[in-house]
Amino acid sequence: MRQVKVLFLLSSILTLLFYSITSYAVESEFPGRKLYLAVPVIELIDLYKTKSQVVLVDVRSNYEYKTLRIKDAINIPISSRDFISKMKQLRINSGTKPIVVYCNGKSCMKSYKAASKCRRYGISDVVAYDAGIMDWAKKYPAESVLLGKSPINTNRLISTSNFRKHLLTPKNFETKGAGNKVLILDVRDQFQREGISIFGVKEYRAPLDDKKVVDRYISQAKREGKTLLIYDQAGKQVRWLMYHLEDKGLQDYYFMKGGISVYYDNLRKQYIR
């Protein structure tokens, strides 16, 4: 009897340990889940099985949506001023279907924020798919759209290591920008800009959503044999531009790591010293 009790106790301890490790692993993989406890989530495979029974909403920017998205998803950026009004109308139009919102990946908070914001405004049955577009595209290429084409070739999905090859620290970006054979492009939108031109006459401005203007500068860099240096606000949106650059056959380009936010932080630290 004593041996049975010992074995039962040991089994209970191992079970608790297993669930503790599993819970920690999930929290580490999905950091937003512990920050948004009230937001219901749906797993990758469950979304695939029920895709036809839900309404999918991509809450990223229109540029990110047009680059890579889940097939049949609609785009309502959380940053848009009419996000709530559009979501309310969608709730009416979709009847009893659950609304599933998603963004880039496991560390992206936009899906949680979107679901949480909907809840505050009384929009019911909104669920976050928090594994994001990258995991979906790798697993279900036939249910994904890349640069307007589906099914997608998963070999064209840009890895983190490949992206990092095109990153320069703000200091190195600035040094390279001082050269003659460069074209510098600020792709922030008008709300993010402070009206300051960091690189003077070398710098051009083209918000990512303005594809024609962006294409014009890409063509110019290729035609003139110049290195294209690109920066955004926080170093995140440029990864989606990389798909477009690769599609255009441009190889000589770099992004500012961390975006202009890190550049300004470094300047402030220098003045503080």
Give the integer Cα–Cα distance in Å for 64 and 67. 5
| 121 in Cβ contact with 89 (< 8 Å) | no
**At which of 114, 129, 156 does a domain end?**
156
Q: What is the pLDDT, as a whole number, of residue 268? A: 82
Look over the chain and give the mean of its residue pLDDT values, rounded to a whole number.
89
Whether 105 is in a domain gets the answer yes
Q: Quick one: pLDDT band at residue 196, thresholds 50, 70, 90?
A: low
Whether 8 is in a domain gets the answer no
Residue 141: how many CB atoms within 10 A of its CB? Answer: 19
Query: According to DSSP H, which parts of the chain are helical?
Result: 2-29, 31-35, 44-50, 62-67, 83-93, 110-120, 132-139, 160-164, 170-177, 211-224, 238-247, 259-272
**At which of 130, 156, 182 does a domain end?**
156
Give the integer Cα–Cα distance in Å for 81 and 197. 27
Whether 2 is in a domain gets the answer no
Whether 180 is in a domain gets the answer yes
Give the integer Cα–Cα distance in Å for 21 and 18. 5
On the question of pLDDT at 273 being above 80, the answer is no
Mean pLDDT, range 163-179, rounded to an integer: 96
Whether 51 is in a domain gets the answer yes
Judge if 42 and 140 occupy the same domain: yes
Q: What is the pLDDT, as a whole number, of residue 240? A: 93
Peptide bond into 151 cis (omega under 30): yes
Angle between helices 211-224 and 238-247 (to 10 degrees): 60
Residue 137: how many CB atoms within 10 A of its CB? Answer: 20
Mean pLDDT, range 250-258, rounded to an integer: 97
- Whole-angstrom CA distances from 183 to 29, 34, 54, 112, 227 are 38, 43, 45, 37, 6
On the question of pLDDT at 231 being above 60, the answer is yes
- Which pTM was predicted? 0.83
Judge if 151 and 166 occupy the same domain: no
Mean pLDDT, range 151-168, rounded to an integer: 96
Q: What is the CATH number of the domain that holds 82?
A: 3.40.250.10
Residue 103 belongs to domain spanning: 31-156
Whether 217 is in a domain gets the answer yes
Q: What is the pLDDT, as a whole number, of residue 73? A: 98
Per-residue pLDDT reduced to its tens digit, 51-103: 999 999 999 999 999 999 999 999 999 999 999 999 999 999 999 999 999 99
For residue 143, the 8-state DSSP code is G
Q: Quick one: pLDDT band at residue 4, thresholds 50, 70, 90?
A: very low
Whether 116 is in a domain gets the answer yes
| 56 in Cβ contact with 71 (< 8 Å) | no
Per-residue pLDDT reduced to its tens digit, 93-148: 999 999 999 999 999 999 999 999 999 999 999 999 999 999 999 999 999 999 99
Give the integer Cα–Cα distance in Å for 58 and 262. 28
Q: What is the pLDDT, as a whole number, of residue 11? A: 42
Q: What is the pLDDT, as a whole number, of residue 272? A: 72
Token output for 85: 């009004």
Q: What is the pLDDT, as a whole number, of residue 260? A: 92
